């Protein structure tokens, strides 16, 4: 559809933004549903993120925006209100404009990951990373009934932040001696050129599920496949995130057939 002065605009904040596929997916959905909406990407350098959010406040036809690496935590600090999950994990990936012009943040990383993985009741999950996405995923796994969650991370400050948020006996720093007890591995770091934290995938149970949260091919997912483990690709998580995000941003439930078609335009088959 043609963009007019009445078109509702959505965007995503990223750096870099060259890899971002959200504009393709969202604009395909808008066209299919004949919505007067348009989606673009903003590549913002770190020193400009505060000014960008301030400028967004006067952008009258900006209806909402998504946030990806590296801004999920910094944007959360700039918003008037946040949903309970975002407040708890101190990170957002979706922001809506309320009727009074204020911005409200949400985080769908966790629900996207959990739905991509499936049933986690009673399982021992290992989360690689402790940043905003990892914390949201831990939150969702606990709500879905995971029996125990371990995590690995190099940043002591992020590790302590995660432990402070989830002060539970069910969440702890990963002990390599427990690797044979792991049922699910979630790769929640942006690392693609090596296996994070030198995790020995050969020691994992043969029925272990491995979720990759990044969209690019990674050494971890390739190695997991070589070891005949079930690998859940990043686009599976993105699919469920997009379904949730679309409802938050537009108030509309996108039909599965339309969403699957949108993912097909960027080469991802949803089965």
3-state secondary structure of 64: strand
Strands 94-97 and 103-106, sheet pairing: antiparallel
Check if 161 is active-site. Answer: no
Distance CA 89, CA 143 (A): 14
**Quick check: 243 and 6 in contact, CB under 8 A?**
no
2, 6, 72, 82: the active-site residue: 72
**Quick check: 137 and 127 in contact, CB under 8 A?**
yes
What are the start-end ranges of the E strands in the chain? 8-14, 37-43, 62-67, 81-82, 94-97, 103-106, 124-128, 148-152, 171-173, 184-187, 209-212, 230-232
For residue 138, the 8-state DSSP code is H
Known catalytic residues are 72
């Amino acid at each position: 559809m043609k963009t007019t002065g009445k078109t509702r605009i959505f965007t995503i904040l990223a750096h870099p933004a060259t890899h971002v596929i959200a504009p393709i997916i969202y604009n395909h959905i808008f066209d299919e549903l004949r919505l007067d909406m348009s989606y673009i990407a903003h590549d913002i350098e770190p020193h400009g993120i505060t000014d960008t959010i301030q400028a967004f406040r006067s952008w009258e036809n900006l209806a909402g925006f998504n946030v990806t690496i590296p801004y999920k935590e910094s944007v959360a600090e700039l918003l008037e209100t946040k949903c309970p999950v975002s407040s708890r994990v101190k990170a957002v990936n979706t922001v809506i404009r309320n009727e009074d012009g204020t911005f409200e943040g949400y985080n769908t990383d966790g629900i996207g990951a959990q739905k991509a993985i499936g049933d986690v009741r009673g399982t021992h999950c290992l989360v690689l990373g402790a940043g905003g996405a990892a914390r949201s995923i831990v939150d969702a796994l606990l709500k879905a009934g995971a029996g125990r969650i371990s995590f690995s991370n190099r940043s002591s400050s992020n590790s302590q932040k995660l432990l402070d948020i989830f002060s539970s006996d069910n969440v702890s720093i990963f002990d390599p001696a427990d690797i044979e007890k792991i049922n699910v591995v979630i790769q929640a770091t942006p690392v693609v050129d090596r296996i994070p934290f030198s995790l020995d995938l050969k020691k994992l149970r043969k029925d272990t599920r491995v979720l990759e949260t990044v969209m690019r091919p990674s050494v971890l997912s390739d190695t997991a496949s070589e070891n005949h483990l079930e690998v859940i690709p990043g686009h599976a998580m993105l699919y469920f995130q997009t379904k949730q995000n679309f409802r938050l941003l537009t108030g509309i439930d996108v039909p599965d057939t339309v969403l699957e078609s949108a993912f097909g335009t960027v080469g991802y088959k949803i089965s």
